[in-house]
A = this chain, B = another copy of it.
Amino acid sequence: MGEFELIRNFFAAAPCAQGGVGVALGIGDDCALLDVPFGEQMAISTDTLVAGVHFADPCDPFLLGQRALAVAASDLAAMGATPLAFTLALTLPTVEAGWLEAFARGLNLMAQACDLRLVGGDTTRGPLSLTLTVFGRVPKGLALSRSGARPGDLVCVGAELGNAAGALPLVLNQRSTTPDIAQPLLAHYWSPTPQLALGQALRGKATSALDISDGLLADCGHIARASKVGLQIDNHRLPMSLALQTFLGKADAQRAALSGGDDYVLAFTLPGAELPALLAAGWTIYVVGRVIEGLGVYLLDEAGQDITPDQRGYQHFHA
């Protein structure tokens, strides 16, 4: 038995690969088989992370496993889908037992947190990279797409912004700071929390949603384009952690909250009438702007003046 077949057996024995609700057949055959309840649809998303491009090489394999699955699962949250399963395509230059064990531990931990089961994949030799495909289920017609935002809706986010971007200089060892500031920022970077429960709570309520991966302004541009509307963002209403503001100062913290990547926080549009019941139910929701007629994303200051760097809005922001 070759070492790559051993790895397949290693993953097949992982706690998250032991099947569960919706998994009719897991690892070990030509295909996995998933059950989708009557009246529901299957939501699917694929993410690739390449060493030296999407993460430093070498990096901590436990943190990599944890983060890679969180990033992928965040797309299920953005769709309002209930997590079901995932496949892992792992390409490795060499087989190191310690590396694999730590990677699988991180993957397992996030799989349990997200209620996702490993049902298949591929293990190959080559430059280090991973492709994760995640599967969820969502009642027909209730998936949260990017295309339903309507003028008058509120623009909302589900958590503080900019923490992961703030952590980047720490991840890259370009700066250091005290643990009370570094720890919460690094936690957001290495172990983002996919907002799966919030996504499901927004089914039938939010008119559009996505998860912020390229920064609030750039990703709001996707909603603007798909929904053919304008989005106004209030610069003074961005939720930011104390750690981020202390570490970067207020102006740079705002820039991180607006344009930093890797947040994996939900951004969504919501008719105002839906807000009170969601807040009463205990959901954390920050209102950061409103949907208007037009096309593009506009940044406003406290006086309502347009301070968008590019006059056409951020619709061409994503470089």
Contacts and interface: CB of A to CB of B under 8 A. Distances in A.
Interface in A1-21: 1-2, 5
A210 B30 contact: yes
Interface string A113-132: 00000011110111101010
B29 A145 contact: yes
A30 B138 CA distance: 13
B124 A53 contact: yes
Contacts of A294: none
A298 B130 CA distance: 38
B47 A122 contact: yes
Contacts of A28: 146, 226
A38 B41 contact: no
A189 interface: no
Nearest to A208: B29
A79 to B, nearest CB: 4
B124 A46 contact: no
A91 interface: yes
8 nearest A-B pairs in the assembled complex, by CB-CB distance: A50-B126, A30-B78, A31-B43, A131-B131, A127-B127, A31-B79, A89-B131, A36-B36
Given A30-B76, A46-B120, 6 more contacts: A30-B75, A30-B210, A44-B120, A46-B131, A48-B122, A127-B129
8 contacts: A1-B318, A25-B145, A30-B79, A30-B146, A46-B133, A48-B124, A122-B131, A126-B129
